[in-house]
Structure 1
Amino acid sequence: MTETKTSTRFAFVMITSLFFLWGFVHNLDPILIPHLKRAFSLSTLQASLVDSAVFIAYFVMALPAGLIMKKYGYKTGIIVGLLFFAIGSYLFIPSANTQSYGFFLFALFVIACGLTILETAANPFASLLGDPKTAVQRLNLAQSFNGLAATIAPIIGAKIILTEGVPQAILQSMEPQAKAVALATEASSVKLPYFILGSIILIVAIIFWFTKLPKIKEDSSSGVSIFSALKHKHLRWAIASQFFYVGAQVCVFSFFILYATKVAGISELTAASYAGFGVGMAFMFGRFFGTFFMKYISPVKLLCIYAAICAVLSIAAMFVTGMAAIFIIIGTAFFMSVMFPTIFSLGIKDLGADTKFGSSLIIMSIVGGAILPPLFGFISDEFNNIQFGYIVPFICFLVILCFGLFGHKVQPSDDSLLKPNF
């Protein structure tokens, strides 16, 4: 790269702001789930469709996002992603006005299409923007601001969206028409926050339009298709690991308020505070501390240690009750914090010209967030016990442990000149 250090640093700051923004909207989902569950009288499984609507977009849009990046570059991809993000946010207004759960899910899908493009662009851009030796640390640093959003979003969202509303006992005794009006009033509380969010995203898109981003030099001597990228064994492992990691993270975050109210007997608003000051803050500090620890412990070893701890905590979450259960989930958030950026960086390591498609495939695997939470919800409904759903994150963390132990290793093949990395 020939750009000055100043322009590189500014580019990194701008890219890091994207991590905060998509982290913020993602961490409003745990607020939306209990809110929409109540407003539309949904089961846990039905409420989990909020996550499905979001994360199915990663499967649908990841490859188109890679093609956009391949043809037009990272900057264009970022601007397109921000526009989808803003449009989806504005769609919350007609969703609330029409009182349609399906419309809400569509709005979330449109937002997630934008997030897919942003993550496909921003993750490799942050990883490649500097010394390759510190790529994992750099991506973890950028992702730390995603953790900051995880702290702030539930607190702000709870105050605006999770209104106390009419008590459930009174709601059940109301006439159908009066009940519909009361629930419509509650559902409309999402309009203002998402309108503000959409407006902020538009402003950020305009700033990116006028910002000159450094050009990333990538090897173009080989690899021109998705099939070429899949020849890399460590990338295939990263795709599988990211599928299970995102599934685990969404289960832990999205069901936290439902979990906390059932297991600890606290109110939704109190649970939302624990979601922000507890789970979100633990996730944020986990990434900052993880970035620091990587100066002394290799990212792979740290990933293995953290995955093993999370597996144990998932088992504990199935049986422990009271406030202790809440602190177990907070601990899980801390230790899973470094997993996404570490898996991502290790997955695209030494891909050369296959980096953009490799990035798309790893982002595509985020569809785990659409598939595994409904499984969590099904198990919870089937046994009438939300704690039993934690068998899903437990299995996920075991897969991540396997990736850290042996799946991450770069191996040469007939179609690449990669060097082993043991």
Structure 2
Amino acid sequence: MLHAQPAGVRYGPALTLLASLFFMWGFITVINNTLLPHLRSVFDLSYTQTTLIESVWFIAYFVASIPSAKLIERVGYQKSLVVGLLIMAAGALGMMLAASIPSYGVTLLMLFVIASGITLLQVAANPYVAVVGKPETASSRLNLVQALNSAGTMLAPLFGAYLILGRSKGGTSAAGTVLTDAERLADAHSVILPYGLVAVVLVILAVVIAKFPLPAMGSANSRLAKEQRKNLSLWNHRNLVFGIPAIFIYLIAEIGVANLFVNFVSQPDIANLTHEQAGKYLTFLWGGMMIGRFAGSAIMQRFDAGKVLAFFSVGAFIVMIVTVFASGPVAMWSLILVGLFHSIMFPTIFTLGIKGLGPLTEEGSGLLVMAIAGGALVIVQGWLADNFGLQNSFILTAVCELYVLFYALWGSKVTNAEPDLVPEPAE
């Protein structure tokens, strides 16, 4: 229900610039996967304390999403993108302060700040990319920028491995090495350079976007939308009702695997690697997600999305069971392989969740975005790792895959489909 776009407007340069945002927030999010084992070594944290770091990160999605929407309504999309980047840059500079002290508490606060900035970018950039350009190619544009998001997640582990783990005593020592206080302090300082580089890039991007002539985004006919939504309820739609927990639960699985990967494969009975070496293997996990998204997109042109999701969830369950009960390289590569099976889950659950919502699509989408906060419950896996062993904690991941299978086979079935919104005439 958006304005038709003006003829003759070129959207390629704007989309290229916006794609860089998707790359950057994917990149910065996945730096956490190498940052967490580093901080665990520096502050001598338990697994519960380590995963609390990521929990704080995802709580920001829940806390900041509504304020982000209100800010966009007040100042518009372009200014909101700039504000989001500057918030992230402020958080990156704060990480340099946290490393200089060093302070676990300040680190948690600054990661929350960075994640809040990313939340604002998510809320602003996704609908913008969908709207600028021809409506019939909206899905193609979103897939393209999401692919670049995956490229960011794939490259971030290399960046973190070289500039964080590779420059620290804890990152280059064998698992179980006890560091002196002086070595912990020196390791803490290794975070200063990479986050300084990140801050510089974010500020440059903010300046470029502030000065870039982004095409105007069409506005919605709110009065018509409100009239069409009258007497309609989101909770009459099974695919959304079960889709919200599906996103929530899937994020527990994805974030748990990524955050504990380095510690897991570093163990002597798995791959016996240093954290730096393990961080490089993390690239394969995220690379598998990128490959899986391209492959899944092609497969779903011929097969039903729900059935494809069911197949991928069964594959994820199998490799997680192998991870729990195997040892050596088999356990490592089975954990890497789950990235391939996880690849299509978020976008497919999201698409199935809003199917048939008609005038309620916007509200339903907002609830699914807020469900990303499920990543905060990765602390549950940290608690399991502390009390029952790191390898056994991946049983939680396997259980999460079973819920996705349930959603694919039954929960995603559309009920009470609403008619689509009436398109608003072009101005």
TM-score > 0.5 by shorter chain: yes
Q: Distance in 1 between matches of 2:90 and 2:334?
A: 37
What is the identity, as a one-letter code, of the residue corresponding to 1:99?
A: P
- Contact 1:33/1:50, CA 8 A, preserved across alignment: yes
Cα 1:169–1:236 change in 2 (3 A) is closer
How far apart are residue 305 of structure 1 and its match?
1.6
Partner of 1:195: 196
**Using the alignment, how far apart are the partners of 1:345 and 1:393 within structure 2?**
22
In 2: Cα distance, 1:345 partner to 1:10 partner: 27
Q: Sort the Cα spacing of 1:239 and 1:70 in 2 relative to 1 into closer, same or farther, 3 A.
A: farther
Q: Deviations for 1:190-244, whole angstroms, at most 9, x for unmatched residues? A: 111111111211222222222323424545323499x977446233333211111
| Cα offset, 1:290, TM superposition | 2.1
Deviation per residue, 1:119-138 (Å, 9 max, x gap)? 12233334455666765554
Kindly state the Cα deviation for residue 95 of structure 1 after the two structures are TM-superposed.
0.7
Q: Which residue pairs with 2:385 in the alignment?
A: 380
Change (3 A) 1:169 1:206: closer
Distance in 2 separating the partners of 1:409 and 1:130? 31
- Deviation string 1:3-46 (CA, Å, 9 cap, x unpaired) is 35763333332332222111101111111111000001111111
Correspondences of 1:267-282 after superposition (within 5 Å): 267-276=274-283, 278-282=284-288
Rounded Cα–Cα distance in structure 2 between residues aligned with 1:80 and 1:331: 37
Quick check: 1:8–1:214 contact (8 Å CA) kept in 2? no
2:187 aligns to what? 186
Following the alignment from structure 2 to structure 1, what is the Cα–Cα distance between the partners of residues 358 and 77? Answer: 16
CA positional deviation for 1:390: 1.2
Deviates more, 1:53-62 or 1:137-146: 137-146
For 1:131 and 1:308, the matched residues in 2 are separated by: 37
- Structure 1 residue 51 and structure 2 residue 54: aligned? yes
Give 1:330's aligned residue: 336
Structure-2 separation of matches of 1:219 and 1:16: 28
CA–CA separation in structure 2 for the residues paired with 1:412 and 1:110:
40
Instruction: Return closer, same or farther for 1:54/1:342 CA change in 2, 3 Å cut-off.
Output: same
Rate the CA distance shift 1:29–1:147 in 2: closer, same or farther, 3 A.
same
Hey, what's the Cα distance between the residues in 2 that align with 1:18 and 1:71? 21
* 1:229–1:351 contact (8 Å) kept in structure 2: no
User: Which deviates further from its counterpart, 391-400 or 2-11?
Assistant: 2-11
Shift in Å at residue 352 of structure 1? Answer: 5.4
Corresponding position of 1:313: 319
Question: Alpha-carbon deviation of 1:54?
Answer: 0.6
- SS of 1:318's equivalent in the other structure is helix
- Distance in 1, matches of 2:108 and 2:253, equals 21
2:12 to 6, 9, 12: 9
**5 Å matches for 1:63-142?**
63-128=66-131, 138-142=141-145
Paired AA for residue 402 in structure 2: L
Q: What's the counterpart of residue 272 of structure 2?
A: 265
Match of 2:214 in 1: 212
What's the TM-score, normalizing by structure 2?
0.86
Aligned to 2:5, the other structure's residue is in SS state coil
Cα deviation, 1:285-322, whole Å, max 9, x if unaligned, reads: 11222223233234333222212211221211111111
CA RMSD of aligned residues (A): 2.8
> What residue is the counterpart of 2:424 in the other structure?
none
What is the CA-CA distance between 1:350 and the residue it aligns to?
A: 5.3
Deviation sequence 1:240-278 (CA, Å, 0-9, x none): 1111111111011111101111222222121111111x1
- Aligned residue number for residue 295 of structure 1: 301
Q: What is the rounded CA distance, in whole Å, between the counterparts of 1:297 and 1:126 in structure 2?
A: 26
TM-score by length of 1: 0.87
Distance 1:169 1:388 in 2: 19
Instruction: Summarize the Cα distance change of 1:357–1:229 in structure 2 as closer, same or farther, 3 Å threshold.
Output: farther
Inter-partner Cα distance in structure 1 for 2:404 and 2:128: 24
Describe the superposition over 1:88-142 as per-residue Cα deviations: whole angstroms up to 9, x where unpaired.
Answer: 1111111112211010111100000011111122333344556667655543332
Shift in CA distance, 399/170, structure 1 to aligned 2, threshold 3 Å: closer
1:137–1:291 contact (8 Å) kept in structure 2: no
For residues 336-361 of structure 1, the C-alpha deviation after alignment (integer angstroms, 9 at most, x for no partner) is 11222222233344555644443332
1:294 aligned partner, one-letter code: M
SS of equivalent residue, structure 2 residue 40:
helix
Pick which of 7-16 and 281-290 moved more: 7-16
- Residue 77 (structure 1) shift: 3.2
Q: 1:265 to 1:170 in 2, by over 3 A?
A: closer
Q: Counterpart of 2:160 in structure 1: which amino acid?
A: G
* Pairwise CA distance, 1:80: 2.4
- Structure 1: where are the runs of 5+ without partners? none
- Equivalent-residue separation in structure 1 for 2:120 and 2:243 (angstroms): 19
